[in-house]
Amino acid sequence: MNMSRGRYWLYIPLFLMTLFYLVPMFIMLNTSFKSFSEVSLQTMWNLPSGLHFDNFKEAYTKLAPHLWNSIKLVIPASLISAMLGSINGFVLAKWKFRGSDVIFPLILFGMFIPYQSVLIPLVQFMRSIDLYGGLPGLILTHVIYGLPITTLTFRNYYAGVPTELIEAARIDGAGLLRTYWDILLPLSIPSFVVVLIWQFTAAWNDFLFAVVLTSPENWPITVALNNMAGSQIIAWNVQMAGAFLAAVPTLLVYLFLGRYFLRGLLAGALKG
Amino acid sequence: MRFNRDSALAVALVSPSILAVAIFVYGFIAWSARVSLSAWKGLLPDYTWAGLSNYAGLLADPRFHIDVRNTLLFTTLFVGGCLVLGLGLAILLDQGLRGEGFFRTIFLFPMAISFIVTGVVWRWLMNPAQGSRLSGLNLLFDNLGLDFLINSWHTTRDWGIAAIAIPAIWQMSGYTMALYLGGLRAIPDEVREAARVDGASELQVYWHIILPLLRPITLSAMVILGHISLKVFDLIVAVAGKQLPLDVPAIYMWTTTFDGNFYGRGAAIGMMLLLSVAALVIPYLIYTTRNEAQL
∠ CA(B161), CA(B166), CA(B172), 5° rounding? 120
∠ CA(B177), CA(B183), CA(B187), 5° rounding? 140
Specify whether the CB–CB gap between A202 and A55 falls below 8 A.
no
**C-alpha–C-alpha distance, residues A71 and A203, integer Å:** 10
Specify whether the CB–CB gap between A243 and A225 falls below 8 A.
yes
Q: Does residue A107 belong to the interface with chain B, where contact is any CB pair within 8 Å?
A: yes
Residue A204 is predicted with a pLDDT of 97
Q: How far is B49 from chain A (nearest CA, A)?
A: 17
Q: Where are the alpha helices (DSSP H) in B94-210?
A: 100-108, 115-125, 136-143, 160-185, 189-197, 202-204
Question: Does residue A6 have a pLDDT over 70?
Answer: no
State the burial class of residue B294 (Cβ atoms within 10 Å of its Cβ: 0-12, 13-18, 19+). exposed
Residue B247 is predicted with a pLDDT of 97
Q: How confident is the model at residue B295 (pLDDT cuts 50, 70, 90)?
A: very low
**Assigned domain for B98 exists:** yes
**C-alpha–C-alpha distance, residues B115 and A222, integer Å:** 9
**C-alpha–C-alpha distance, residues B59 and B52, integer Å:** 11
**Assigned domain for B142 exists:** yes
Phi and psi torsions of B138, nearest 5°: -60, -40
Overall average pLDDT of the A200-229 stretch: 96
∠ CA(A239), CA(A243), CA(A248), 5° rounding? 150
Question: Does residue B23 have a pLDDT over 70?
Answer: yes
Spell out which residues of chain B touch residue A271, defining contact as CB-CB under 8 Å.
288, 292
Question: Does residue A272 have a pLDDT over 50?
Answer: no
Question: Does residue A211 have a pLDDT over 60?
Answer: yes
Overall average pLDDT of the A133-148 stretch: 97
**Assigned domain for B8 exists:** no
Question: Does residue B90 have a pLDDT over 70?
Answer: yes
**Assigned domain for B239 exists:** yes
**Assigned domain for B6 exists:** no
- Closest residue to B24, CB basis, from A18, A145, A242: A145
Overall average pLDDT of the A8-37 stretch: 94
**C-alpha–C-alpha distance, residues B75 and B63, integer Å:** 18
Domain at B115, CATH number: 1.10.3720.10
Q: Which domains does chain A have, with CATH numbers?
A: 55-267 (1.10.3720.10)
Shortest CA distance to A211 belongs to which of B95, B243, B74, B237? B237
Q: Do B277 and A91 lie within an 8 Å CB cutoff?
A: no
Arithmetic mean of pLDDT over chain A: 91
Q: How confident is the model at residue A1 (pLDDT cuts 50, 70, 90)?
A: very low
Total residue count of chain A as it appears in this document: 272
Residue B1 is predicted with a pLDDT of 41
Residue B284 is predicted with a pLDDT of 87
Overall average pLDDT of the A60-81 stretch: 97
Question: Does residue B181 have a pLDDT over 60?
Answer: yes
**Assigned domain for B83 exists:** yes
- Closest residue to B92, CB basis, from A13, A112, A207: A13
Q: How confident is the model at residue A269 (pLDDT cuts 50, 70, 90)?
A: low
Q: Does residue A270 belong to the interface with chain B, where contact is any CB pair within 8 Å?
A: yes
Residue B102 is predicted with a pLDDT of 93
Overall average pLDDT of the B40-65 stretch: 96
- In this prediction the ipTM stands at 0.92
Number of compact structural domains in chain B: 1
Best mutation target among B85, B113, B137, B252 (most A Cβ atoms within 10 Å) is: B113
pLDDT tens readout for residues A249-267:
999 999 998 888 877 777 6
Q: How confident is the model at residue B8 (pLDDT cuts 50, 70, 90)?
A: confident
Arithmetic mean of pLDDT over chain B: 92
**Assigned domain for B275 exists:** yes
Spell out which residues of chain B touch residue A121, defining contact as CB-CB under 8 Å.
27-28, 31-32, 35
Phi and psi torsions of B49, nearest 5°: -60, 130
**Assigned domain for B141 exists:** yes
**C-alpha–C-alpha distance, residues A53 and A221, integer Å:** 20
Q: Do A28 and B175 lie within an 8 Å CB cutoff?
A: no
Chain A residue with CA closest to B113: the answer is A247
Q: Does residue A208 belong to the interface with chain B, where contact is any CB pair within 8 Å?
A: yes
Residue B31 is predicted with a pLDDT of 98
**C-alpha–C-alpha distance, residues A170 and B72, integer Å:** 54
Q: Does residue B109 belong to the interface with chain A, where contact is any CB pair within 8 Å?
A: yes
Range of the domain at B83: 63-294
